[in-house]
Amino acid sequence: MKRARGFGKPSPSRTPPLDRWLRTADAHYRSCELDAARALYCQILDAAPQHPDALHRLGLLLYLQGDPFSAEAPLSQLVALHPVDASAHNNLGVVLEAQGRAEEAEAGYRRAIALDPQLSAAHNGLGNALLEQGDAPGAEASYRQAIALDPGYAEAHNGLGNALLEQGDPQAALVAYEQAVQLQPDLADAQANCAYLRLLLGDFERGWQAYEWRWRTGWAARPETILGRPRWDGSDLAGRAVLLVAEQGFGDTIQFVRYAPLVSGRGASRVFLLCRPAERRLLSTCGGIDGLLVQGESLPDFDLCAPLGSLPGLFGPELPAQVPYLRPPAAPADPSWIGRVSATGALRVGLVWSATRLRYHDRKRCCPLQLLAPLLEWPELAWFSLYKGEAGKAELEPYRAHIVDLGPYLQDFADTAWAMTQLDLIITVDTATAHLAGALGLPVWILLPCVPDWRWMLQRSDSPWYPSARLFRQSTPGDWQGVIQQLAVALGQWCGKEPAYVPAPAVSATGSQNLSPIAIAIPRAVQLAARHHEAGRRQQAKDIYAWILRHDPDHPDATAGIGMLALEAGDTQTAQAALRRVIALKPQDALAHYQLAQVYLSLDKTAQAEVHCERALTLDPALAEAHVTLAHLLAVRGALAEAQKHLECSLKLRPDFAGARNNLGNLLQQQGRLEEALECYRQALASKPDLEAAWLNYDRLLSDLAATRQKAD
């Protein structure tokens, strides 16, 4: 659930000679001209490095710009200079909490409260930090104290709702959320929380209506703003083309893509879907979709856009639960590992026990693998791990004798879908795996916390979204032991065994590892930097990557990010050094090899570029961009037949890859196959009408053909 944070007020100015700069900066700040304000605050600090107001305001500004990692430095400096400033301690707590460092944030809030017990924002912040650490009763007490100090504090009422919900009292939580909305109708977090809770309670009609508030919580920009096309409102499409946009997590995409055929049925001329690379092959099997695009590719011509998560609200409360609506491939992308899912005399069970662990709401979904240990030894069952990720890998090590690890072989969701069809049952916590199995219509048992994500609702063992799913729920928060006992009984009935289940030793209720606060914050920082980079906010991305590298100098994703930013800025020396470092850290990183090839190509070092393109394709044959780059390099040195093979391969992977189709046209034209080249240019323009190179090639070739025919006549 969403939490709102409350800032205290910065201290008044104490440096008269710099007052004019500060007043101007503050005016920019109030007018939301944040870049101009930031420049002036930095100018003040260049002249007076210990200026308290500039430090304070710069920290707040950086936080509001979505960069809590850079905001930490000025606020930490302020706290060191003015250790009795309660507001500074509070605001540093807000920044640390945004980084995922809840324990340190808690300490900051407690210092602020010790200095000023009447500071309601600090009590609210303390509630946020305690809730993030799983202490819902303590969080409730803090929120109630904030409300006692300030009864009109809407953010604290919203936080109270979160704490009550975590303790299993959804009705009381709804009252708190509605109170927050009454006090502050534009409080997006509270409005969104009302939506999630109504959906959790099965009130779909009001829930979907309020679900649109998610766009105002700041987690993402509205697609119509980015794409420059109006949102579809559910009316008859009358032959217009629609671009559906995947949003939120992989599970959300798999859950909501079922609506694509319904969109097509409303009279759309064409329905496109913008998704992520790992989803592409899988989603190509969904009906009603005429073209798939990966984020970052050129978009086709379309009239309207619609985020997938908004489709249920447009089609009404009745859920389309016809399954399967996705299909597995005939074989994985790399068939060499098929034998690992070999036939055995035992029943084959796929297992996912962990999710990402960035925040408490992620960690509470994770079931400690240690609790499942007694079940892994049943001779009637053969276990296969479908887990992909880093957070739970260490847990797997002691059990490798009992679990076949398929995770390293699963290149995308299509591979996972194929593996699932080779199994008799999938057991998973609440991850995209649960949605995938349900969308394929396969038997899936889902292990849920006491208060699950809204889509699993409450007090039922089935799912209206996935008829093949069976739900196993905690009876009290953190009670995974009880869930595994339920699971053991069900497994015993399923495989005809009396479940002689011996509970494993107790472990953490959230299954979290003993990670440092910085280690917990870094994955969140990587995601934030990537979002800034994709949105073109290169300086913010660079600042966050630099923060990561200060704490983890060998972090490959941050190093790669610095490399790509440098390449975009024309700094090929820095780009080359960074990407070579990534490859030294992760020799099997196909994308890093491809990116380094791009650097070498920009330096006209074609031999080195070719080597790294080939290495990238050895590691990931499905990397379509690498096929195109290698084709270019081969064509330059005259290996036209090999170049053509790679272009055809890229188009097999991505049939609507306009750049590859244009390049194939050029190659065919070089071989004198002019009519085929002309058709390639036509197809490239059909996929991407604004591809200028294809228009030039098409017009030139059309003119040449017309001139040739005229001469012949």
Q: What is the CB-side half-sphere exposure of residue 266 using CA atoms within 13 A?
A: 18
Q: Is residue 353 part of a domain?
A: yes
Are 66 and 204 found together in one domain? yes
pLDDT of res. 346: 82
Would the pLDDT of 32 be above 90? no
Are 270 and 393 found together in one domain? no
Would the pLDDT of 45 be above 50? yes
Provide the Cα torsion 97, 103, 108, 113; round to 10°.
110
Burial of 336 (0-12, 13-18, 19+ CB in 10 A): exposed
Residue 431: CATH number of its domain: 3.40.50.2000
The mean pLDDT of the chain is 89
Q: Is residue 386 part of a domain?
A: yes
Contact (CB, 8 A) for 624 and 639? no
Provide the Cα torsion 329, 335, 339, 342; round to 10°.
0
Please calculate the CA angle 537-540-544 and round it to the nearest 5 degrees.
Answer: 135
The pLDDT confidence band at residue 537, using thresholds 50, 70 and 90, is confident
pLDDT of res. 509: 42
**DSSP 8-state secondary structure symbol assigned to residue 244:** E
Are 199 and 227 found together in one domain? no
Are 146 and 42 found together in one domain? yes
Are 211 and 126 found together in one domain? yes
pLDDT in tens, 144-201: 999 999 999 999 999 999 999 999 899 999 999 999 999 999 999 999 999 999 999 9
Are 173 and 56 found together in one domain? yes
**Distance (Å, rounded) from C-alpha 581 to C-alpha 560?**
8
Are 109 and 152 found together in one domain? yes
pLDDT in tens, 405-423: 999 999 999 999 999 999 9
Q: Is residue 330 part of a domain?
A: no
Q: Would you tell me the crossing angle of helices 52-64 and 68-81 to the nearest 10 degrees?
A: 160
Contact (CB, 8 A) for 511 and 367? yes
Contact (CB, 8 A) for 127 and 140? yes
Q: State the CB neighbour count (10 A cutoff) for residue 401.
A: 7
**DSSP 8-state secondary structure symbol assigned to residue 358:** S
pLDDT of res. 655: 85
pLDDT in tens, 501-532: 555 554 444 444 455 667 767 887 888 888 88
**Distance (Å, rounded) from C-alpha 394 to C-alpha 139?**
31
Q: Is residue 713 part of a domain?
A: no
> Can you tell me the mean pLDDT for 619-631?
91
pLDDT in tens, 195-245: 999 999 999 999 999 999 998 887 666 777 778 889 999 999 989 999 999
Q: Is residue 196 part of a domain?
A: yes
> Can you tell me the mean pLDDT for 260-287?
94
Would the pLDDT of 644 be above 80? yes
Are 205 and 234 found together in one domain? no
Domain boundary among 620, 648, 677: 620
Question: What SS3 class is residue 317?
Answer: coil
Domain boundary among 577, 599, 620: 620
Name the token pair of 317: 């409360």
Residue 245: CATH number of its domain: 3.40.50
Asked if residue 324 has a cis previous peptide bond (ω within 30° of 0), the answer is yes
Q: Is residue 332 part of a domain?
A: no
pLDDT of res. 661: 93
* Domain residue limits at 588: 517-620
**Distance (Å, rounded) from C-alpha 36 to C-alpha 270?**
44
CA distances 476 to 168, 361, 448, 449, 456, Å, are: 8, 15, 11, 8, 16
The pLDDT confidence band at residue 535, using thresholds 50, 70 and 90, is confident
**DSSP 8-state secondary structure symbol assigned to residue 231:** B
Domain boundary among 186, 215, 244: 215
Are 356 and 419 found together in one domain? yes
Closest CA to 628 of 654, 590, 602: 654
Contact (CB, 8 A) for 454 and 197? yes
Are 68 and 171 found together in one domain? yes
pLDDT of res. 709: 75
Percent of the chain with pLDDT strictly greater than 70: 93
pLDDT in tens, 355-378: 876 677 788 999 999 999 999 989
pLDDT in tens, 330-344: 889 888 898 888 766
pLDDT in tens, 482-494: 999 999 999 988 8
Residue 153: CATH number of its domain: 1.25.40.10
Percent of the chain with pLDDT strictly greater than 90: 60
Contact (CB, 8 A) for 96 and 66? no
At residue 352, φ and ψ (nearest 5 deg) are -135, 120
Please calculate the CA angle 152-153-156 and round it to the nearest 5 degrees.
Answer: 135
Would the pLDDT of 97 be above 70? yes
pLDDT in tens, 289-305: 999 998 878 888 999 99
- Report the number of distinct structural domains present in the chain: 4
Are 297 and 366 found together in one domain? no
pLDDT of res. 713: 60
First-to-last alpha carbon distance for the chain, in angstroms, is: 74
Q: Is residue 679 part of a domain?
A: no
**DSSP 8-state secondary structure symbol assigned to residue 679:** H
**Distance (Å, rounded) from C-alpha 644 to C-alpha 660?**
10
Name the token pair of 552: 């983890």
pLDDT of res. 620: 87
Q: State the CB neighbour count (10 A cutoff) for residue 85.
A: 21
Closest CA to 148 of 190, 119, 168, 172: 119
Are 311 and 432 found together in one domain? no
pLDDT of res. 306: 95
Q: Is residue 326 part of a domain?
A: no
